[in-house]
Amino acid sequence: MPSRPAAKPRTRKPSGTPRRRRGVKLKPTELRPPELGAAPAPASIPEALRPLADAIERDGGRVLSAYREPLGGNALLFAALPVAKVVPTPFQRDLSDAHVRRLTQAMDKTRRFLDPIIVVREPEAAAKIEEGATYWVPNGYHRLTALKELDAKSVLALVVPERAVAYQILALNIEKPHNLRERAIGVRRMFRDLAALGRDSGKEEDYALEFEEPALVTLGFAYEQRPRLSGGAYHPIVRKLDGWIKGDLASAAAERERRAGVLLAFDDAVAAAVDKLKARGLTSPYLKAFVIARVNPLRFMKGELPSYDELLATMTRRAANMKIEKIRSEDVVRSGGAPADPEG
């Protein structure tokens, strides 16, 4: 059989080179932020926001207006910013290339950008993410990426003065529901970023809104070590057993890593049991779910539950000692349910 020719190595464009999508012909205007509108009279900007407005002007942007949002009466600035100075938060969910492609095609057809992004001014973004960056976008990463691909010079943004909103925005973003993996990874990225503040980071429970639940933190740390973990199979168990850790986030990180390790040890035992079942000729897509259900005693327990460590150690031991020779194909079929890995 003739040998297959070696694949040509992929060449990557420099990071500053805009990507050109097939069929997209739109060439954005050369309008820079100062040219998009007249700055509002100083009197129209609340006193508390004037330092932020001045900083935006120094960054090469232009404040277009100031207003108060209707729910809490919080003051915001509507501004034009240089695209190059805006980057995603370090805990942003991963980009969907298909979503960006649809956005660039829609912009090409409509020749309009009508949906402002949300940003917070983060002077340290240059050191954390990208040289020259000054603003974080917690909501609008795909829109920003589409603009950068089109080589646009300006982006319209709602500038929120409070940095904490960058962490809270995931709770408000319902445009595309996050699956479990995205949520857990986003929570872990937030945790890491906040933990870098050391003793000033606060406690886990202070971020109950942002983190949603303790299980997502542990799963996020587990995904960090094993990106292809079947987190959806373990989430119901971890959610019942896990809890917030006391102490600052920097101290809690080590405990989260340990708990993730305990979960991964259980995952190893489950994977070994699945391999043994496959060796006996069982090929159902429900094997992992079957093994987990077989060793999980939670559904029979009433009253106070055992600790996270105690129960996972028991389940790990049961998975390792499972009597594979006594399991029949009809046992797996009766277990039914969805495949064990819906989240990837």
Token readout for 182 is 């995205």
Mean pLDDT of 221-248: 93
Which pTM value belongs to this model?
Answer: 0.58
Q: What is the pLDDT of residue 337?
A: 47
At 17 the pLDDT is 62
Question: DSSP string covering 168-235, please?
Answer: HHHHH--SS---HHHHHHHHHHHHHHHHTTGGGG-BGGGGHHHH-SHHHHHHHHHHHH-TT--HHHHH
Structure tokens at 331: 């046992």
For position 222, what pLDDT does the model report? 96
User: Does residue 307 sit in helix, strand or coil?
Assistant: coil
Residues 175, 216, 206, CA angle at the centre, nearest 5°? 90
- Please say whether the dihedral angle defined by the alpha carbons of residues 20, 24, 25 and 26, taken in this order, is positive or negative: negative
Phi, psi of 110 (to 5 degrees): -90, -20
Helix axes 180-195, 214-225, angle to 10 degrees: 90
Cβ–Cβ under 8 Å, residues 234 and 263: yes
Position 191 pLDDT exceeds 50: yes
Q: For 48, what's the count of Cα atoms within 13 Å in the CB-facing half-sphere?
A: 8
Domain ranges of the chain: 33-170, 178-335
Q: How far apart are CA 28 and CA 18, in angstroms?
A: 12
- Tens-place pLDDT, residues 65-78: 888 887 778 888 99
Identify the top-confidence range among 43-47, 89-93, 228-232, 325-329.
228-232
CATH number of 33-170: 3.90.1530.10
Quick one: pLDDT at residue 150? Answer: 85
Q: Is 247 left (phi over 0), alpha (psi -120 to 50) or beta?
A: left
Output 137 or 308, whichever has higher pLDDT. Answer: 308
Shortest CA distance to 119 belongs to which of 142, 82, 151, 86?
86
